[in-house]
Amino acid sequence: MADFLLELLCEEIPARMQAGARAELERLFRRALEAAGVVPGDLAVWSTPRRLALIARALPLATEAVREEAKGPPEGAPDAAIEGFCRKQGVARDALELREVKGRKTWFAVIDRPGLPIAAVLAEAIPAIIRDFSWPKSMRWGAASLKPDSLRWVRPLSGIVALLDDEVVPCEVGGIVAGRTTLGHRFHAPGPITIARVGDYPAALRAAHVIVDHEERQSLIREGARAAAAAAGLTLVEDEGLVVENAGLTEWPVPLLGRFDPAFLEVPGEVIQLTARVNQKYFVCERPEGGLADAFVCVANIAARDPAVVVDGNRKVLAARLSDARFFWEQDQKTPLAEHARKLSRITFHEKLGTLADKVERVAKLARWLCEEGIVKADPDLAEQAARLAKADLVTEMVGEFPELQGLMGGYYAAKEGLPAEVAAAIRDHYKPVGQGDEVPTAAVTVAVSLADKLDTLKSFFAIDEKPTGSKDPFALRRAALGIIRLITENGLRMSVAEGELLDFFADRLKVQQREAGVRHDLIDAVFALGGEDDLVRLLARVHALQDFIATEDGANLLAGYKRAANILKKEGFEAEGAEAAVAYTPEPAEQALIDALAVATPRAEAAVAAERFTEAMAALATLRAPIDRFFDEVTVNDPDASKRAARLALLARFRDAVHRVADFSRIEG
């Protein structure tokens, strides 16, 4: 058994690519070894900005010997064919063996492939791994790049360490010869370092100020940043993305806390946090009493002679960034939102749908209408005002700089302007809900604007035939539909949401969305199939009642009875609805019982549905369960007497129709 180390040293690998690179290295390494019949056990794969490293423990010293047989030409075949076969297999003619194949003597070559030393397998695998490595973006470099097919890597590759226990695995790729020499930290340990044996690697690097295990660096940053904040009496605002990114930017991470001018805190906290994170990769902190503190945590890649110098440099950069942010914050406020909104006429929303100003106009009218119709219980004037201003922040400097602050900034500016609180809140939150986990607005004015915005988007794009297809949804219409569904259902809004194709689109989205909530898609189909249902609140109430009902014994049995009735009707080609065949004979008791039960249940179910008392409608159906069961037990539908047969089929059709008052049970699975 032997341990193997592979280190690929290069210039700084982008932090965002390191996790993928580790997975790729592992994948290619396993592939290469498995092709040689070796299944490596646990691998350690690490990354720093300057290196990818892999350690495979306890590899066998050699691959297994393999005996292979190849079937050749039959005995008596022309010499040329036999010679050719020998050449191809690399065996001498007198080493061929004759075997019987389907009664015919045939030449076979028997090739014994001896086990290969693992070093030889690795020496071949390493250049292949490097050549086949897939990076999101790769490049050529140096004198070799005079030729178009020179080696590609994410940044120039400068060294390879390949050790099997304490021996170098000899190989070379793109002029780089594998050895046992690598580099430590760029500044703390600039000279070459030599790795004597695989087991020494992490410690040798640590001695050279490199922590090769990215997870260890991540926890150093996580803990160190928390501790730095705590030491200042503050709480770190946790950000795991920043932890991973900073670990990908450092070999020797040192979190440092700095302060900035508290005057910047007049800028909204979200802006400060975003500026610090996006531009500088800094953490921010909160005060014990809540609210952002005038502090940041940066992660240096050196144990600096004087950390205060590093902190001060970073503080200045952040100050310059925050000055820009404050400049935008102040500049934007010099113009009222209404005036910003005028500039929306310069921005195309979609070439066939006009400018953003056109969209705002439509949304404002729709928001007002939603209120005037009483669908949303909000003041129509406030809803219209909020809708007219909701997109204005898109032309502000701040949102130009940080697009993810759309809505939020408009809300801040509206509040600063002294607009009604409901209007400011509606501007702030009208994009919600964005993701699945995002909260759904409940404030009435916000609901009106958010709903109007999304409905307009959806109806407009459907009107110009820009519908999502497959994985393509460039205008995020599925998300808009989902947002509408959640706004309507969670706020109990009673309205006709759409018709035709768009209603089908909603039905699909609703099924996907409700699956999460444990609602069966077939039950949604069963209600939609009745047609004419465009009120999602009513629809879901009916579906919920149906789901509860189907789960009961009565429900399950009624469904079985329904299916049996439907099958008979289908088989007999009996389509007539509302058939009221006159009964010219004395019905059997079970038959009469069903007739009587239907006479009571049908109007009850109908009335209950009309009154949207769906549980009651289900209860009405439940009264049919016993009579239908008894009917099938005791009555023969297919009576020789044609008039009896016709009357009984008509009775079953009436039963089916009664059930259909509530839902199309034929859509229900099981």
Question: How many H helices and E strands in the chain?
Answer: 25, 18
To the nearest 10°, report the CA torsion of 526, 528, 530, 533.
Answer: 150
Q: How far is residue 309 from each of residues 256, 305, 316, 563, measured CA to CA in Å?
A: 11, 8, 11, 80
Contact flag: residue 397 with another protein (CB under 8 A):
no
Contact flag: residue 314 with another protein (CB under 8 A):
yes
Given candidates 64, 97, 312, 504, which one binds another protein under the rule CB under 8 A? Answer: 312
DSSP lists the bridge partners of residue 117 as 62
Positive or negative, the CA dihedral 247, 248, 251, 256 is negative
CB of 281 to another protein, least distance (A): 8
Segment contacting another protein by CB under 8 A, of 65-73, 259-267, 309-317, 422-430: 309-317
CB of 301 to another protein, least distance (A): 6
Binding mask 217-256 for another protein (x = CB under 8 A): --------------------------------x-------
Which residue number, 323 or 496, has a Cβ lying nearer to another protein?
A: 323
Segment contacting another protein by CB under 8 A, of 35-43, 315-323, 330-338, 368-376: 315-323
Contact flag: residue 11 with another protein (CB under 8 A):
yes
Given candidates 318, 364, 485, 523, which one binds another protein under the rule CB under 8 A? Answer: 318
CB of 216 to another protein, least distance (A): 20
Show contacts with another protein in window 507-546 (CB under 8 A).
none
Contact flag: residue 313 with another protein (CB under 8 A):
yes
Binding mask 539-558 for another protein (x = CB under 8 A): --------------------
Contact flag: residue 143 with another protein (CB under 8 A):
yes
Q: How far apart are CA 7 and CA 383, in angstroms?
A: 62
Contact flag: residue 187 with another protein (CB under 8 A):
yes
Q: How far apart are CA 481 and CA 504, in angstroms?
A: 11
Given candidates 27, 186, 459, 563, which one binds another protein under the rule CB under 8 A? Answer: 186
Q: Is the separation of the CB atoms in 25 and 13 below 8 Å?
A: no
Contacts of 227 (CB under 8 A, 6+ apart): 255
Task: Give the Cα-Cα-Cα angle 294, 296, 299 (nearest 5 degrees).
Answer: 165
Segment contacting another protein by CB under 8 A, of 140-148, 402-410, 522-530, 648-656: 140-148
Q: What are the b/e assignments for 459-479, b being 16+ CB within 10 Å? A: ebbbeeebebeeeeeebebeb
CB of 348 to another protein, least distance (A): 7
Given candidates 140, 259, 511, 645, which one binds another protein under the rule CB under 8 A? Answer: 140
Number of residues binding to another protein, judged by CB under 8 A:
49
What interhelical angle do 380-389 and 421-429 show, nearest 10? 50
Which residue number, 188 or 521, has a Cβ lying nearer to another protein?
A: 188
Which residue number, 348 or 436, has a Cβ lying nearer to another protein?
A: 348
Segment contacting another protein by CB under 8 A, of 72-80, 96-104, 346-354, 515-523: 346-354
Contacts of 320 (CB under 8 A, 6+ apart): none
CB of 331 to another protein, least distance (A): 12
Contact flag: residue 142 with another protein (CB under 8 A):
yes
Helix, strand or coil for residue 536? Answer: helix
Report the amino acid identity of residue 548.
D
Contact flag: residue 348 with another protein (CB under 8 A):
yes
Q: What is the DSSP string of 250-300?
A: -SS-EEEEEE--GGGGGS-HHHHHHIIIIIH--EEEE-TTSSEEEEEEEEE
Segment contacting another protein by CB under 8 A, of 105-113, 146-154, 163-171, 502-510: 146-154
Contact flag: residue 78 with another protein (CB under 8 A):
no
Q: How far apart are CA 656 and CA 582, in angstroms?
A: 18
DSSP strand pairing (283-286 vs 348-350)? unpaired
Segment contacting another protein by CB under 8 A, of 143-151, 403-411, 452-460, 557-565: 143-151
Per DSSP, 125 falls in state H
Contact flag: residue 350 with another protein (CB under 8 A):
no
Given candidates 298, 371, 427, 458, which one binds another protein under the rule CB under 8 A? Answer: 298
Given candidates 108, 141, 475, 574, which one binds another protein under the rule CB under 8 A? Answer: 141
Given candidates 66, 309, 464, 611, which one binds another protein under the rule CB under 8 A? Answer: 309
Q: Is the separation of the CB atoms in 51 and 7 below 8 Å?
A: yes
DSSP lists the bridge partners of residue 44 as 55
Task: Give the Cα-Cα-Cα angle 226, 227, 231 (nearest 5 degrees).
Answer: 120
CB of 26 to another protein, least distance (A): 22
Contact flag: residue 302 with another protein (CB under 8 A):
yes
Which residue number, 79 or 306, has a Cβ lying nearer to another protein?
A: 306
Query: Any long-range contacts for 440-443 (C-beta under 8 Å, 24+ apart)?
Result: 440/486, 440/487, 440/490, 440/491, 441/487, 442/490, 442/491
Contact flag: residue 300 with another protein (CB under 8 A):
yes
What interhelical angle do 553-571 and 536-550 show, nearest 10? 100
DSSP strand pairing (176-177 vs 172-173)? antiparallel
Which residue number, 187 or 585, has a Cβ lying nearer to another protein?
A: 187
Per DSSP, 114 falls in state P
Which residue number, 276 or 487, has a Cβ lying nearer to another protein?
A: 276
Segment contacting another protein by CB under 8 A, of 152-160, 529-537, 556-564, 602-610: 152-160
CB of 190 to another protein, least distance (A): 9
CB of 112 to another protein, least distance (A): 44
Q: How far apart are CA 484 and CA 229, in angstroms?
A: 42
Q: How far is residue 412 from each of residues 44, 423, 429, 601, measured CA to CA in Å?
A: 49, 11, 11, 58
Given candidates 196, 203, 207, 347, which one binds another protein under the rule CB under 8 A? Answer: 347
Return residues touching another protein (CB under 8 A): 11-12, 14-16, 49, 137, 139-148, 154-156, 158, 186-188, 249, 280, 282, 298, 300-302, 304-306, 309-310, 312-314, 316-320, 323, 327, 346-348
